[in-house]
Amino acid sequence: MKIRLISAGIFIAMSTAFAATEDIRATVHNLALYSTDTDEVCVFCHTPHGSNSSFTGAPLWNKPIDATVTFQVYGGGQTIGGTTVGQPGDTSRACLSCHDGVSGVNTVINLPGSGGWNSSGTNLNYRGSNLSWKMPWPFAVGKGDGGATNYDLRDDHPVGIVYRGDETNPPASLKPTNTNISGWNISGDKDGNPGPTIGDLLRNGKVECVSCHNPHLNAARFLRSGDGNAFSSLCLTCHGK
Beta-carbon contacts of residue 228 (< 8 Å; ≥ 6 apart):
219, 220, 221, 234
Please check whether residue 108 is in contact with residue 63, taking contact to mean a CB–CB distance below 8 angstroms.
yes
Whether the link from the prior residue into 138 is cis, omega within 30° of 0, is yes
Amino acid symbol at 25: R
Please state the separation of Cα 172 from the chain's center in Å.
Answer: 25
Task: Say if CB 142 and CB 99 are below 8 A apart.
Answer: yes
67 near ligand HEC, judged by CB under 6 A? no
Task: Please report whether residue 163 would count as binding ligand HEC according to CB under 6 A.
Answer: yes
Does 217 interact with ligand HEC (rule: CB under 6 A)? Answer: no
149 neighbors 66 (Cβ within 8 angstroms): no
- List of residues 6+ apart from 167 with CB closer than 8 A: none
Stretch that binds ligand HEC, among 1-9, 11-19, 93-101, 177-185 (CB under 6 A): 93-101
Closest residue by Cα to residue 101 from 139, 129, 68: 139
Q: Does 181 bind ligand HEC (CB under 6 A)?
A: no
Binding of residue 102 to ligand HEC (CB under 6 A)? no
Q: Is 109 in the site for ligand HEC (CB under 6 A)?
A: no
Q: Which is nearer to ligand HEC, 61 or 194 (CB)?
A: 61
Q: Taking CB under 6 A as the rule, does residue 94 contact ligand HEC? A: yes
Shorter beta-carbon distance to ligand HEC: residue 68 or 169: 169
Q: Which of 28, 67, 131, 148 binds ligand HEC (CB under 6 A)?
A: 28
Report the alpha-carbon distance of residue 131 to residue 123 in Å, rounded: 7
CB 140 within 8 A of CB 100: yes
Name which of 136, 72, 128 is nearest 98 in CA terms: 136
Q: Does 229 bind ligand HEC (CB under 6 A)?
A: yes
Nearest distance from C-beta of residue 5 to ligand HEC, angstroms: 26
- To the nearest whole angstrom, how small is the minimum distance from the Cβ of residue 11 to ligand HEC? 23
CB 71 within 8 A of CB 152: yes
- 192 makes contact with ligand HEC (CB under 6 A): no
Under rule CB under 6 A, residue 32 binds ligand HEC: no
Asked whether position 26 contacts ligand HEC by CB under 6 A, the answer is: no
For binding to ligand HEC (CB under 6 A), which residues are involved? 24, 28-29, 31, 41-42, 44-46, 58-59, 75, 79-83, 88, 91-92, 94-99, 105, 138-139, 141, 157-159, 161, 163, 171, 173-174, 187, 201, 203, 207, 209-213, 215-216, 220-223, 229, 234-235, 237-239
